[in-house]
Copies of this chain bind each other. A is one copy, B any other.
């Protein structure tokens, strides 16, 4: 009854259709060099025998795995942010009949490159054609990947400690202009005392700080950076920043948070102290995570199209695979400030 169907091969199909094996291959690869009747006969035989070509065998000859790996490094778990990038990679890839492998990696920035233990996917050869690097990326990981000659594209916003001379394909989004526009918006709404809250030792938060500072400078306003000591997390950072913001004289009328989590922490701590957003203080975030719309009022923040990042990474990787000697490129995707409910007109 439940007999497992014997795996049919092209030789069996060839016999069933009374043609040669080469013809089967030609039909499968839809090369036009097959007459209409022969093609029909072959397709009929394929259907009758339930034949599905073995992907592995083809890949040996083609020297292409038609598969890439999405490698998430140094993340305790797959946050929605990276999950959406992965989704972008997958949806673009599957449209081109490319497959996406998911792997995670944990490493220290101080491990020498040749001592970094790569995940199993990268230890074998021919399993994947290329790599999309996401998560925090330090130079030693890059060196390690280069040492196995694996083409890759990096999601570059979380790249840390890289000199300008570094050359590799990268896709990122525009930290600087994101906060620049957000801050200009606040200024346009009449705000003058605006603080920026984030740990700027992270390069991406530093770039956001720079955007904020630029907007302040343009308007001859004083920039103020708020940090906090020993935060447990970004949310905690935000919570701890609240007190420091409120103790300033004159009291700031608005805060730009380095990301949505800091904004959330701030919002929560402010609310606990009986202050209302945006009535008492306006607030903007960065990243536009899922929770931003859920906050009450919903958070005005800088929107980043995560799917587009994934898609662009995949697109760039495929280009690299087609043209291995092409010069490296860097793409910065635009961000967009979305107005919701946390900024008030002064």
Contact = CB atoms under 8 A, between A and B. Distances in A.
B7 A125 contact: yes
Interface residues of A, number: 60
Given A56-B65, A56-B126, A60-B60, A264 B103 contact: no
A149 to B, nearest CB: 6
A127 interface: yes
Interface string A112-124: 0000000111011
B77 A84 contact: yes
A70 interface: yes
A49 interface: no
Contact of A78 (B64, B83, B264): B83
A97 interface: yes
Nearest to A63: B4
Interface in A35-81: 52-57, 59-60, 63-65, 67, 70, 77-80
Contacts of A149: 4-5
Given A60-B57, A124-B53, A149-B4, A94 B87 contact: no
Contacts of A125: 7, 52-55
A202 to B, nearest CB: 21
A87 B104 contact: yes
Nearest to A66: B120
Interface string A266-281: 0010011000000000
Contact of A99 (B55, B80, B101, B322): B101
A324 interface: yes
Nearest to A261: B294
Given A83-B80, A84-B78, A322-B2, A52 B94 contact: no
Given A80-B83, A103-B90, A104-B90, A322 B65 contact: no
Given A56-B60, A78-B87, A121 B99 contact: yes
B54 A60 contact: yes
A6 to B, nearest CB: 8
Contacts of A90: 102-104
Nearest to A295: B268
Contacts of A325: 2
Residue from A56, A97, A124, A294 whose CB has the most chain B CB atoms within 10 Å? A56
A228 interface: no
A141 interface: no
Closest 8 CB pairs of A and B: A52-B125, A55-B124, A78-B83, A55-B127, A54-B126, A83-B83, A56-B59, A4-B63
Given A80-B83, A99-B120, A264-B294, 13 more contacts: A2-B322, A52-B125, A53-B124, A54-B124, A60-B60, A78-B80, A78-B86, A86-B102, A94-B104, A94-B120, A97-B120, A100-B103, A272-B296
7 contacts: A1-B64, A55-B124, A77-B84, A80-B80, A86-B102, A87-B104, A94-B119
